[in-house]
Structure 1
């Protein structure tokens, strides 16, 4: 059917008051979900801040959050998980899963469904790496537990900031802004090596992951992340 025929049938009526010189935006009805992963000391906080600033500059509302601790319940669980005394490995895994279930239900899903871009410091892969591999609970069992807790939600993009554990530890020791090491940080260098290896295994061959050398200059890392973010953000079009 031609444009003229459509006009004759009443199927299309141009609005004579539209100012086509103005910029119009076409957005998806939903936002996006991005997770940053990696050991402590790799620079996640810095890169999340830079990524959030860039996404905001593109016109999107951004929610930055973290695990554990992204909700009111999560804040209490974070204190138990990171600051309490000895916690049995299985109890640790279940507490992280509880935090994630609440995080997804009360913050992540509502924000994404309202068109916001959610950027979290850690998500499911951290449990698989730290509890599944680091605590020897089994990567598959921990993945299955987290998938159940989240209802199958996975990020649109996961950014893995990769750095050898020795360098990451040196960074933490020379960072005057850091507080005392938490339970995970006190687990030892062998534990951290196992965690790093599992992160890399999870990321291998996955289109929704990007692995960045965290030893590169901060600006170079941020530029790489911006390029990848631009490919997954909901469509924006101007004319």
Structure 2
């Protein structure tokens, strides 16, 4: 929880799961009801954090160690929190974030090294915020990777680790959803986007 008056929602999932599409669709739906919505992403969401995004998502898969990645992602998240998330929540807006700290718990804490303890320590020291609701878009890893690679963007560093990382990440996200069951809701992403979006809206209504 953030201590503000707004609502903080995060979307999580493996690369290619459709979480970015679902974050956008939920933002459009809530705006149509008259709510102020800030749709943002991680890494990124503020000018400084977007600069760090280019550093961590582009280039050779072995460009950074997991430890260096953790520091970079935490720095980006702190700037994002200060400049985008907290101000929006303080004025009562709904913040929808495509990835947040749970992605760091998975990518750097689990899949890139045994760093979960370090992730949680840094998070407690420098961030100290969890979403009110986290929507995990769960999808078959092989199909998700094919979708992610088909995008053909410059930000393919993590996709280039291949299917084994995707499979490990999916299992890790499901375990994380069990660990933080109070704020996580799992939505089946192996369907048409509108069907997924209906379940996303239902999960939000149930949380309220």
Structure 1 position 154 matched with structure 2 position 130: yes
1:69 maps to which residue? 44
1:127 Cα deviation (Å)? Answer: 0.2
Q: Could you tell me the TM-score, scaled by structure 1's length?
A: 0.80
How do 1:141-180 residues align onto structure 2 when only pairs under 5 Å count?
Answer: 141-150=118-127, 152-173=128-149, 175=150, 177-180=151-154
How many residue pairs get aligned? The number is: 202
What stretches of structure 2 of length at least 5 have no aligned partner? none
Q: Distance in 2 between matches of 1:72 and 1:146?
A: 21
Q: Distance in 1 between matches of 2:89 and 2:74?
A: 20
2:173 maps to which residue? 199
Q: Distance in 1 between matches of 2:146 and 2:52?
A: 28
Offset from partner CA, 1:59-103 (integer Å, 9 cap, x none): 210000000111110111011111144112111110001011111
Q: Distance in 2 between matches of 1:178 and 1:47?
A: 20
Q: Distance in 2 between matches of 1:148 and 1:231?
A: 31
How do 1:16-55 residues align onto structure 2 when only pairs under 5 Å count?
Answer: 30-55=5-30
How do 1:52-131 residues align onto structure 2 when only pairs under 5 Å count?
Answer: 52-85=27-60, 86-131=63-108
Offset from partner CA, 1:8-61 (integer Å, 9 cap, x none): xxxxxxxxxxxxxxxxxxxxx811000000111111121111100111122210
Structure 1 position 137 matched with structure 2 position 111: no
Q: Distance in 2 between matches of 1:199 and 1:98?
A: 23
Structure 1 segments, 4+ long, off by >3 Å, are none
SS in 2 for 1:204: helix
1:189 maps to which residue? 163
Select the structure that is richer in helix.
2
Q: Could you tell me the TM-score, scaled by structure 2's length?
A: 0.91
Q: Distance in 1 between matches of 2:92 and 2:23?
A: 19
What stretches of structure 1 of length at least 5 have no aligned partner? 1-28, 234-239
State whether residues 41 and 168 of structure 1, in contact with CA within 8 Å, keep that contact through their aligned partners in structure 2: yes
1:188 Cα deviation (Å)? Answer: 1.9
